[in-house]
Structure 1
Amino acid sequence: MGLLLMLRPPQPRPKSLRRATRAQRREHRRADAEEWGTAQQRGWLLDVEVEKLLLLVDNAGGSRLPILGQIDPWSDTVLSRRELSQLEADIDRLEAVAGDDTQRELVTAMRKLLMNWRAEPDLMLHCYGD
């Protein structure tokens, strides 16, 4: 299971593809794939293993963390710039309890994503759970 963290511009309310033609559905998937590929090239995409993140969050204080302690890794969440400083504080707490190289790599990757977010003020952090 994974939690996908992606920096994206604010998204309009998703339209239902329930009555779309096959061509419209195919075009929608193609556009998503292109956007996700571009995000990955820019460093705006991070795929996190839920178990590793949950273990680290639990060791850092669990639900007492203002942002990471409240994210449900099995549903979608969108974070705005207002929450960036709190999220950085959560990452600091994760870094303090990271016990092995895998956990430290995860913290480093999350810090890099936040640095990219700080450089792009118009983006929001979308968290897509499994």
Structure 2
Amino acid sequence: MGLLLVLRPPQSRPKRLRRATRAQRRERHRADAKEWATAEERGLLLDVSVEELLPLMNAAGGNRLPILGQLDPWSDGVLSREDLPQLNAEVDRLEAAAGDDVERGLVAALRTLLVRWRDEPGLALHWYGD
């Protein structure tokens, strides 16, 4: 199971088609896949394994983390730039709780993504769960 974190411009909520055809669903996924591949090349995407993230979050405070505690690996959501200072503080807590190289690598990747977000105005952090 994974959690996809993507820096992208804020998206208007498109109306969902109640009875989308397979072709319409396939085309939407194809467009998202192209955008995500480009974002990954630019360093604006992080694919996180929930199995790695959850134990680290629990060690750092779990649901008491105001922002990371709301990330739901089964749904989608958006964080705004106003969340960035709090998110940086929570990543500091993750860093303090990291116990092995895998967790430290995850924290480093999160920190790199947050630095890119700070340097790229006009983007929001979207998360997409499985």
| TM-score (norm: length of structure 1) | 0.91
Query: Structure 1: which amino acid aligns with 2:128?
Result: Y
Question: What does residue 99 of structure 1 align with?
Answer: 99
- Unpaired runs of at least 5, structure 1: none
Q: Specify the SS of the correspondent of 1:125.
A: strand
Q: Give the 3 Å change call, closer, same or farther, for CA 17–63 of structure 1 in structure 2.
A: same
Q: In structure 2, what is the Cα distance between the partners aligned to 1:20 and 1:93?
A: 43
Query: Structure 2: which amino acid aligns with 1:40?
Result: E
Q: In structure 2, what is the Cα distance between the partners aligned to 1:112 and 1:18?
A: 38
Q: In structure 2, what is the Cα distance between the partners aligned to 1:23 and 1:49?
A: 29
Question: What does residue 110 of structure 1 align with?
Answer: 110
Amino-acid identity (%): 71
- Unpaired runs of at least 5, structure 2: none
The reply on whether 1:71 has 2:71 as its aligned counterpart is yes
Deviation at 1:70, TM superposition (A): 2.2
Q: How many residues align?
A: 130
Question: What does residue 120 of structure 1 align with?
Answer: 120
Deviation at 1:75, TM superposition (A): 1.2
Query: Structure 1: which amino acid aligns with 2:10?
Result: P
Question: What does residue 80 of structure 1 align with?
Answer: 80
Q: In structure 2, what is the Cα distance between the partners aligned to 1:27 and 1:69?
A: 33
Which segment is superposed worse, 95-104 or 63-72? 63-72
Which string of whole-angstrom CA distances, capped at 9 and with x for unpartnered residues, describes residues 57-96 of structure 1?
1000111112112222221111000000000000000000
Q: Give the 3 Å change call, closer, same or farther, for CA 51–24 of structure 1 in structure 2.
A: closer
Question: What does residue 12 of structure 1 align with?
Answer: 12
Query: Structure 1: which amino acid aligns with 2:109?
Result: A
Question: What does residue 57 of structure 1 align with?
Answer: 57
Query: Structure 2: which amino acid aligns with 1:87?
Result: L
| TM-score (norm: length of structure 2) | 0.91
Deviation at 1:18, TM superposition (A): 4.5
Deviation at 1:17, TM superposition (A): 3.9
Q: In structure 1, what is the Cα distance between the partners aligned to 2:26 and 2:16?
A: 14
- Runs of 4+ that moved beyond 6 A: none
